Amino acid sequence: MSGAILGIDPSRRTTSAEFRLGSIGGYDHPTYGYQEYVYGKAGSDIPVGGAAVNLPNGTVANGEWTALTTTNAAQGTGGGLPVAFAQGAAFADDEYGWLLQKGTGGVLTYASAAVGTRLYTTATAGYLEDVSTSTLSVVGVALTIATGGASAVNTSARVLYPYVGISNVV
C-alpha cells in the first residue's frame, strides 16, 4: 500500500490552516516507506529539504516553524528545540503544511556532507553541514548517502524526531 494515510499530502502548501497546528500525520511513501509529519505554519521561507525549528513560545507562536539557522537555534538555551524538514515543496512565509519528523526523506546540506557524521546548524537558513561552525548540532538525523560537490537535498537521510543539541554534550 502506498499513498496518504489520514489524508495528508506532504507537498501541499496552503494559505489557511486545514488541520490543527501540531497535528501528527502518517504517510506511506511509495519509495521510502512510512514517514511521520507534524503540521505547522511557516514563520519564514523554508527551502525544499530545509531544516525548520519550532522556537520557544514568546519568540514564535506554538506550531509555527522557521528555517533553522545557528542564530535562531541558539534561542533554545541548552538545545532541545524540535527540528523537522520540508518535503516535496518549499514553504513561503505564512504557508501551512506538513514537515517530516520521522522516516527517510530529503535533508538540505552543503557540499561534501559525509555519511553518518554529525550535522550542524549554519548561518544559511535551512541548510545543515558536517563541519562545525558552532556548538549547535542537529541530533536525530543521519545521511545514508554523501552529498556530492555542490549543496543539495540528500534524498535518503534518516530522520528520527530531530532536535537542536549542544555538540559537546550529545
pLDDT in tens, 102-126: 999 999 998 788 888 889 988 899 9
Q: pTM score, two decimals?
A: 0.89
- Here the cell at position 119 is 550535522
Distance, first Cα to last Cα, the chain: 37
159, 95, 94: which is closest to 128 by C-alpha? Answer: 159
78, 83, 56: which is closest to 168 by C-alpha? Answer: 78
Q: Which residue has the higher pLDDT, 168 or 23?
A: 23
Q: Is the pLDDT score of 154 beyond 90? A: no
Q: Give residue 111's pLDDT.
A: 78
- pLDDT > 70: percent of the chain: 86
Q: Is the pLDDT score of 47 beyond 90? A: yes
How buried is 168 (Cβ within 10 angstroms: 0-12 exposed, 13-18 middle, 19+ buried)?
exposed
Q: How far apart are CA 59 and CA 81, in angstroms?
A: 12
| DSSP per-residue letters across 9-51 | -TT--BSS-SS-TT-EEEEEETTTEEEEEEEEEESS-B-TT-E
- Residue 79 near residue 164, CB atoms below 8 Å: yes
